[in-house]
């Protein structure tokens, strides 16, 4: 798996949770350095143009929030009670000052410190899990993928986090299996 960031989950908090990919098998970490966290904040649209200047401690804090978000999302999917420590981590990050977009002559512009950028992501988690979209959460149907997304599709029929990362692979594996007369697997 590539260390490149993907933004297919439909919410920055879910995309942050997906920065540890294939949690059940390969466990591919994408937040491997402060520069990768800076790139994630830029790619997620949390900041514009300038990187927040993350340090190793910021990566550690982002990973801590990421794991707390994933624990809360997983509990929601399973209909379980939220873990108190995960709640404290996300709420603590969300309570800090957040990135503030500014309107400029050329459009929106957001600069942030690493803590402000992480606070913005944590607030996305609070809004998602505390709002109506929490009922729409689904995990990707690819057995190798652990991304979660709100299924906003008509009839709630979406099966994958995205066609590019998972849907095409699952469909191709199913096609190959049908051609061989064997059972379909995503890894094929």
Predicted pLDDT of residue 68: 98
Predicted pLDDT of residue 138: 94
**Both tokens assigned to 30:** 């994408």
Q: What is the pLDDT of residues 129-179, one digit of tens each?
A: 999 999 999 999 888 888 999 999 888 888 878 767 675 665 666 656 667
Candidates 5, 53, 14, 38; CA nearest to 150 is 14
Question: What contacts 174, CB < 8 A, 6 or more positions away?
Answer: 184
- With 0.75 as the threshold, say if the pTM is over it: yes
Alpha carbon dihedral 61, 117, 44, 5, in 10-degree steps, equals -30
Quote the distance between the C-alpha of residue 2 and its chain's center. 16
The beta strands (E) that lie in 27-91 are given as: 28-29
Predicted pLDDT of residue 1: 35
Question: What is the distance between the alpha carbons of residues 57 and 43, in angstroms, rounded to a whole number?
Answer: 20
Count CB-CB contacts under 10 A for residue 137. 19
Instruction: Render the burial of 31-43: b for 16+ CB within 10 Å, e for the rest.
Output: beebebbbbbbbe
**Both tokens assigned to 144:** 């190798």
Measured between alpha carbons, how far is residue 104 from residues 95, 100, 101, 107, 109 in Å?
Answer: 27, 13, 10, 5, 7
Predicted pLDDT of residue 168: 61
Question: What is the distance between the alpha carbons of residues 54 and 120, in angstroms, rounded to a whole number?
Answer: 15
Low-confidence ranges of the chain (pLDDT < 50): 1-3, 188
Predicted pLDDT of residue 33: 96
């Amino acid at each position: 798996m590539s260390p490149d960031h993907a933004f297919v989950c439909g919410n920055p908090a879910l995309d942050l949770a997906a920065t540890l990919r294939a949690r059940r098998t390969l466990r591919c970490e994408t937040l491997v350095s402060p520069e990768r966290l800076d790139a994630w904040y830029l790619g997620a649209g949390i900041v514009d143009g300038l990187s927040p200047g993350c340090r190793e401690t910021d990566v550690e804090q982002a990973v801590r929030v990421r794991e707390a978000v994933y624990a809360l999302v997983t509990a929601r999917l399973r209909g379980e009670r939220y873990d108190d420590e995960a709640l404290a981590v996300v709420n603590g990050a969300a309570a800090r000052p957040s990135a503030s977009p500014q309107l400029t002559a050329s459009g929106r512009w957001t600069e942030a410190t690493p803590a402000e950028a992480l606070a913005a992501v944590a607030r996305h988690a609070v809004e998602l899990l505390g709002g109506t979209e929490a009922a729409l959460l689904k995990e990707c149907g690819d057995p190798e993928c652990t991304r979660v997304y709100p299924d906003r599709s008509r009839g709630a029929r979406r099966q994958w986090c995205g066609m590019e990362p998972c849907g095409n692979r699952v469909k191709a594996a199913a096609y190959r299996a049908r051609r061989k007369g064997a059972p379909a697997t995503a890894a094929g």
